[in-house]
Amino acid sequence: MTQDGRLIRGERTRAAVLDQALRLATVSGLDGLSLSQVADALGVSKSGLFAHWRSKEALQLAVIDHARAQWTDQVVRPALAEPAGLRRLWAVHERRLGFYEAGALPGGCFFSNAHFEFNARPGVIRDRLAAEQSAWMDFLTRVATEAVELGDLRAGTDPAQLAYLIEALGVCAVMQAAVLGAAPTFRHARRALHDHLRTVAHHPEDLPELI
């Protein structure tokens, strides 16, 4: 095999392992993740995985990067394809709920699970997750700020306050859907933001009709 061939095969293996590890982490926890468990699930040798990650912590950090890349592809980028303002703000919420509804990950949401798992455990993993949480709230706040600046929302609207509401409705949806039923849970999560945006939007008709 040429050097390029080995590199491609290595990259493919790496992506396959991270996909599997990400899925496992949403079920048994990021701390429950081990190289042995991932190797078993994929039917490969543990020593093969050591070529990519020297420690459990290195694997955990790689899984966080992988989860973020998936979230960017499936939630952030499609939302950014919508026009800035009210429609983009709605699209972020809608894409996120759609990601959960589609069952992309068996445990619902990697980041929500991991935040609750690590918030009280100081260390490298917790610091990285905190940076992700902060970056995500900054993103939501920016999208809300655009909507205010473009005149889509009432001038007095506080973008950080609105970002908090959007995040809260999303986190609760993924917590409750599997237990209390997906249909009512996602209906509540959509309706709550829709009702709120109707009270603060200058042109609520730009929002989709909810069934």
Of 20, 188, 206, 207, the residue at the interface with a second copy (CB under 8 A) is 188
Place of tokens 């490298």: 124
Measured from the Cβ of residue 148, the count of other Cβ atoms closer than 10 Å reads 20
**Any contact of residue 130 with a second copy (CB under 8 A)?**
yes
Nearest distance from C-beta of residue 178 to a second copy, angstroms: 5
**Any contact of residue 19 with a second copy (CB under 8 A)?**
no
209/161 Cα distance (integer angstroms): 24
Q: Which is nearer to a second copy, 191 or 203 (CB)?
A: 191
Measured from the Cβ of residue 144, the count of other Cβ atoms closer than 10 Å reads 27
SS3 state of residue 157: coil
State the amino acid at position 159 in one-letter form: P
Whether residue 26 contacts residue 109, with contact meaning beta carbons closer than 8 Å, is answered with yes
**Any contact of residue 183 with a second copy (CB under 8 A)?**
no
Nearest distance from C-beta of residue 164 to a second copy, angstroms: 4
Whether residue 11 contacts residue 38, with contact meaning beta carbons closer than 8 Å, is answered with no
**Any contact of residue 29 with a second copy (CB under 8 A)?**
yes
172 membership: H or E segment, kind and range: helix 159-180
Of 112, 147, 197, 201, the residue at the interface with a second copy (CB under 8 A) is 112
**Any contact of residue 42 with a second copy (CB under 8 A)?**
no
Binding residues for a second copy, rule: CB under 8 A, are: 26-29, 31-32, 106-108, 112-113, 115-117, 119-121, 129-130, 133-134, 137, 160-161, 164-165, 167-169, 171-173, 175-176, 178-180, 184-185, 188-189, 191-192, 195-196, 199
